[in-house]
Amino acid sequence: MPPPSVEDRPSHDTISIIYPSDFKIIVTRNYLYSKDRTYKKATFNVDYATLINSTQFFRGWLDRNRFSMKPKNVLELDGSNIVTFEIILRKLHNTLEQMSVGAVSLADIWDLPYLCQTCHVDCKELTQWFKTWCAHQKDKVEPGKELSYYHEVLIPSCVYNDAEIFAQSTRAVVYQNTGHITARIPNEYRKPLAAPLMRHLNAARDRLCEIVHQELSGRITHILQRPLSPCCERTVFELLRELQRIQAWPYDNCFTNHGIDELLNRLAHFDADRMHKYIDPATNSQFNCVMCSMDWKTIVESTATRVAGYFDGLCLDCALRTDENPPPGGQYDKKDYWDCLESHDRYDRKCRIQHGEPSWYFSFMGEQRELQATPAHGVGLPYRLSNQC
């Protein structure tokens, strides 16, 4: 069946990009591109002088139009996406804030950078607008469904150069995802940076699991490695029993099926008073060796606090500094990245977000062997990415 003609399916909007206007652009959305299999047409009222002074792309376009036989104040073209075209025109006319971000879908957010490229508009100038769009999306999210929002904005926040949302979404995914983290990218797009990003997020997540093991299971190992007193069997058993009661044990089960945040929620219910003490039959009173006298409540709490505060999300600036295939305009500044090790003070110098060493470490996008060659650094040594890759 042939596609319906434009006349049969009239769906024509007039959109005032600026007022007064002395030029019209009529965009017809191509039948092939439209998901609902309808034509859609829009007339944009624009300012000729603004467009001709905007980018090389629009200048060339308007120039070609001048020499055509068509009316001089109208330009007709086929477009794939009317919404993203409106965003570009408004950006150039400085009227973007007059357009509701509610009309922009996630698909449009993925489309826009490609149209930006075609029209020679720098996508990085849309960072603030992207932030507004994200805030609107987040408001719509039902309580408990935040994770899917973070998955949706993770790669786009990188494309739109929004360091803040990139850090928020990468952190949220690491702490909230159940099981292995994978990228959410629509089929029609390819993002080469997605694979290393996901690898690093999974490495960060594994590192958090490892901290829990080190801090909690490590104590049990300590007890078992010493000459055992009669109290020790009871302590080990009672600790595991209490962790089992709050469904934190076995940890791996919890990581895989419920995520890090949920494990931390469960650990908050840990009650050391429920651990039965060993009673020495000779004296009929409590007896605990040094190891068994440890303050388990504080140990569990400080483990949870350490895990919760460990990872501030990935840092877009650290990532860009070490990206060996930097985006146009970006620069590869490895020296700046490694300099942090010498100064030993802050790992977020010259970064837009505040972060600690783990974020710095996991944001490294350069070659893996460079990381392997690094001398061991400081307390809280982050997990080596090389173990994962």
Binding stretches for Zn ion (CB under 5 A): 229, 231-232, 289, 292, 315, 317-318, 348, 351
Q: Shortest gap between Cβ of 17 and Zn ion (angstroms)?
A: 38
| Listed residue (67, 3, 68, 63) closest to 31, CA to CA | 3
Q: Are 209 and 383 in contact (CB under 8 A)?
A: no
Distance CA 368, CA 375 (A): 14
Q: Are 154 and 164 in contact (CB under 8 A)?
A: no
Helices 106-119 and 146-159 meet at what angle, rounded to 10? 0
According to DSSP, residue 366 is labeled: S
Strands 279-280 and 285-286: antiparallel
E strands within the chain? 12-16, 23-29, 40-46, 74-79, 279-280, 285-286
The amino acid that residue 121 corresponds to is V
| Listed residue (145, 209, 199) closest to 170, CA to CA | 199
Residues forming beta bridges with residue 45, ordered by sequence position: 16, 24
Strands 23-29 and 40-46: antiparallel
Helices then strands, counting H and E runs in the chain, come out as: 17, 6
